[in-house]
Amino acid sequence: MSVAREQVLEVRDLKVHFPIRGSFGRTTGIVRAVDGVSIELGRGETLGIAGESGCGKSTLARAMLRIVEPTAGRIVVGGEDVTAARGPALRHLLKVMQMVFQDPNDSLNPRVKVGAAIEEALIVAHVAPQDRPHRVQEILRTVGLPYAFARRYPHELSGGQRQRVGIARALAVGPQLLVCDEPVSALDVSVRAQIINLFQDLQDQLGLGYVFISHDLAVLRQMSHRVAVMYLGRVVEQAPNQVLYAQPLHPYTQALLGSVPLPSPKANRARQRIHLVGEVPSPSSPPPGCPFHPRCPIAQDVCRNEVPPLRVIASGHHVACHFAQANVWAGGERVGQA
């Protein structure tokens, strides 16, 4: 993937904190679901986002689309700052960037036929009434469904067909970028492969960019140009795809890769050191120092006291671990927040 590219999305130090309300509506704590994430995406590029359940992936996706409000940070879409956008600026955001959900039922009304559901999205995109039937037909063809499906209700479709309709709805406004939150996780393996192929074809045909969220690193390996690994609301490692899978440097990434066949013997040896035990701690009371230290088999005292900053280890390879290649780190440039 070329580095000099047209940037479609830039997220800087984004935070989403949810207040925990006790009796009488008093705030008794804060859930730091997303706690300082910076990512960017070029045209036609796929950024995979990995991490166990509860790491803040969905909240990040929802905040980027302003479904939940960011607490701090900046979101720039198509060159426009949309962090606090209202009215026309928010509509601009939703024309450039759309979301595909894990469960397409989240975006499909069971009482609305497929054709009408796509037409709703065309109305939002100000497509003239006389052009809409043709566009519905075209969009259905783009996602590999016959026009006859326009007359069906969502419950008359299989899971894979419903996800195709979910993608069709997202495509109706002509976006440059889709934020896909576990879009294939609920599908059978064979259907999953077909939908992954569809995403890849759409990228080739339309130059779409994807923020592709999955807890499944094998899926991300197939889909992504770059992968960011999240842990407790932060990115702990980010690298070009082939680098992350061949040379994972964060113990958390190495542990996650435990079940994925890796291309190099070196990477296979590295991941054998780490077995993931226990669960992700609550983001309402994250551990001090490195958030991964209670589960990290190589944690030292410094890990319990100091948050490791996200640092550049090599071009495009960022890692937040005190012990990721200490020798290379000496010349490392610090990026993002600690």
Ligand X SMILES: Nc1ncnc2c1ncn2[C@@H]1O[C@H](COP(=O)(O)OP(=O)(O)O)[C@@H](O)[C@H]1O
Q: Which residues bind Mg ion (CB under 5 A)?
A: 58
Yes or no: say if 229 and 253 are a contact pair by the CB < 8 Å rule: yes
Kindly determine how many residues on this chain lie close enough to bind ligand SF4 according to the rule CB under 6 A.
13
In sequence order, the 6+-apart residues with CB closer than 8 A to the CB of 249 are 237, 313, 317, 319, 321, 324, 325
How far is 146 from 286, CA to CA, in rounded Å?
49
**Residue 229 touching ligand SF4 (CB under 6 A):** no
Q: Show Cβ contacts of residue 332 under 8 Å, excluding neighbours closer than 6 positions.
A: 311, 312, 313
- The DSSP string of 272-298 is HT----S-PPPTTSPPSSSTTGGG-TT
Compare residues 232 and 239 and give the one whose CB is closer to ligand X: 232
Stretch that binds ligand SF4, among 45-53, 256-264, 295-303, 328-336 (CB under 6 A): 295-303
311: contact with ligand SF4 by CB under 6 A: no
The two three-digit tokens of residue 270, written as one number: 């590295």
Q: What does each C-alpha distance from 118 to 96, 115, 198 come to in angstroms?
A: 17, 5, 18
Q: Give the nearer residue to ligand SF4 in terms of CB position, either 101 or 292.
A: 292
CB of 29 to ligand X, least distance (A): 10
Judged by CB under 6 A, which of 8, 9, 31, 177 binds ligand X? 31
Shortest spacing between CB 9 and Mg ion, in angstroms: 19
- Return the C-alpha torsion angle 122, 123, 125, 130, nearest 10: 70
Q: Is 57 in the site for ligand X (CB under 6 A)?
A: yes
Residue 33 binds which entry of ligand X, Mg ion, ligand SF4, none, with Cβ cut-offs from 5 to 8 Å by kind?
Answer: ligand X
* Candidate segments 19-27, 51-59, 150-158, 287-295, binder of ligand SF4 by CB under 6 A: 287-295
Q: Is 248 in the site for ligand SF4 (CB under 6 A)?
A: no
Which of 19-54 are b and which e, b meaning 16 or more Cβ less than 10 Å from the residue's Cβ?
eeeeeeeeeeeebbbbbbbbbebbebbbbbbbbbeb
Quick one: which of 53, 109, 158, 300 contacts ligand X (CB under 6 A)? Answer: 53
Task: Specify the length of the chain in residues.
Answer: 338
- According to CB under 6 A, which one of 54, 154, 175, 286 is a site residue for ligand X? 54
Window of 127-135, 203-211, 263-271, 288-296 that interacts with ligand SF4 by CB under 6 A: 288-296
Question: What is the widest separation between alpha-carbon atoms in the chain?
Answer: 68
Q: Does 58 bind ligand X (CB under 6 A)?
A: yes
Interface positions with ligand SF4 (CB under 6 A) = 250-251, 290, 292-293, 296, 298-299, 303, 308, 321-323
